[in-house]
Each structure stands twice: as structure tokens, then as C-alpha cells.
Structure 1
């Protein structure tokens, strides 16, 4: 049975040390996207810093990926952009999904993560009247565990 997501939620990227990050659910986008400003190839490896200094989860930590791709991806305006694409784990509804994220500058946008239909397909139904469905379920579960442990 497919779970229901709303128009936005909070997700975890455990391999990148990020949790409860705001994500827009976008069935119009194929590929998911992650906000990054400083991405460059150094000695054949992709180096990047996630988020902005203003973001509460910003650490300034540099990530290094040896496995990545460079792809042409259409942005929301229909223009083709050349982007780095990494594979990492997305955690939502306590389910860990290994998936691809393109790295793009989403600084002017409200949500640092965009979840595209490649992840959503055959997993989730979208109800645009709802929001933070998985995050609320996660918090409810954590409160229950906390009560049980005293």
C-alpha cells in the first residue's frame, strides 16, 4: 500500500548527516535536487558544501564523492543546466531509499530539497492539501518511544 505525502515534508539524509530538512514534493520534476552552492571537481573527486550559512542545519562541512555523474537537467524554467548528480540515502517514513540527487543552487527557493517523481513513483500518493505527513508520524513515534522509556 502506498503512503500519502503532502506538498512538502521534512526528510533525512543520513549519509550526509542531515535530518528534518524541509523538502518540496514536486511531481513535475523527474530528478530530485539538493541545495548546494560550492561544487567543484578536485583531483577527479566531487567536492561540495550543502545548504547556506543562514540555514539552521548548515555545518560548512565539505563532502567528497568519488562516484558522481554530470548530466544535463531541465530546470523549472525549461532551460537545460549541466549539474552534478550524486547517489545517497533519503529517509522518509522510516524508509531508507538509495536515490539520486542533482546538486543545484536552490538558495532563492524556499525548500533546500526537491523530491521528484523518480522517488515518488510506485511509493507514495500526493495529497496537496496535506503537509509534513512523514515528519508528524516520526515525531509521534519518537514521543511514544520516549514515554515508554520513561
Structure 2
């Protein structure tokens, strides 16, 4: 007998995500089903002698720069064709990503997203099949920037 499909989970086209293995509890991300792969904004990186990489994740640029240093082992190098059309070679890492009720191990490449609104791009391969992306809603699983709920207040 075929399995019953999971109920769909709707996410906004912009959400806050967590990368708990990297010590990042909240990072602004654009959920983009037009992008195949996911990428995160880094300010600096250093390849270490043991094959690991130390890199600086830019968590926020404005109003004050906030970064987190991460050390991880890349799973591969990939050639990526971004929206600019110019192919780039990027290091790719695996880590846990959380968006609301979704928790998933994903692949993430390192890139400069300087000047972009979101520090991370979540591509379609990072999303389970039962996720629907709303093109008109943002922050369905988190508070929008600059807003705070009162304790006990429903979303």
C-alpha cells in the first residue's frame, strides 16, 4: 500500500533559519525554488593543513557587522553557475538547517553575498518534498525583523 504523503508545510519566500551545528541560531535567508543549491555569505576563509576550512559567516551586515567563525570539513568542490551566469568553483559543506518545523541536513556552498538582502540562499534541494513556498508571505515561522511578540502571544 502506498504511503500517505505528509501534510504540506508552507514557508515564506524569506525566513530566518538556524544552523545549530555552526552555532548560528538565526540567519536571514531567501527561500528560492529557482535556485538548485544553497549558499551562505562568508567574509573570509582559510584552508587549514588538515583539510578543514575556517570561515567567517556574516550573520548581519547592518546596522552593525556580526560574524561567527566556523571550522568544518568540506564534502566536495562544486562548479556553480549563479544568476550572473559566470561559473564559479565553490567549497561545499554539510550541516543541519532548521526552518520552523523543518530540520534537515543540507549542502551549503560558501560565497560572497555582500550587498544582498539575505545572508543565505536556500535552494530547492534543501527543502523536503512536502514544503510549499509562498511567493507573497515572509517570516511564517519566525518574527519579522524589528518585531517582537509579547510573551504568550500567538503568531
CA distance in 1, matches of 2:136, 2:59: 29
Instruction: Give yes or no for contact 1:18–1:57 (8 Å, CA) kept in 2.
Output: no
Instruction: Give yes or no for contact 2:14–2:30 (8 Å, CA) kept in 1.
Output: yes
Q: Confirm whether residue 93 of structure 1 aligns to residue 100 of structure 2.
A: yes
Unpaired stretches in structure 1, ≥5 consecutive residues: none
Three-state SS of the structure 1 residue aligned to 2:66 is: coil
Q: Confirm whether residue 16 of structure 1 aligns to residue 10 of structure 2.
A: no
Task: Name the TM-score, length of structure 1 as normaliser.
Answer: 0.82
Q: Confirm whether residue 110 of structure 1 aligns to residue 117 of structure 2.
A: yes
Query: Which of the two has greater helix per residue?
Result: 1
How far is 1:45 from its partner?
A: 1.7
Query: Which of the two has greater strand per residue?
Result: 2
Q: Which residue of 2 aligns with 1:51?
A: 58
How far is 1:57 from its partner?
A: 7.4
- Root mean square deviation, CA, Å: 2.5
CA distance in 2, matches of 1:87, 1:67: 7
Unpaired stretches in structure 2, ≥5 consecutive residues: 1-6
- Of 113, 129, 135, the residue aligned with 2:142 is 135
Q: Confirm whether residue 3 of structure 1 aligns to residue 9 of structure 2.
A: yes
Aligned pairs, number: 142
Runs of 4+ in 1 over 4 A off after TM superposition: none
- Of 64, 70, 78, the residue aligned with 1:63 is 70
Task: Name the TM-score, length of structure 2 as normaliser.
Answer: 0.80
- Of 5, 19, 26, the residue aligned with 2:32 is 26
Q: Which residue of 2 aligns with 1:78?
A: 85
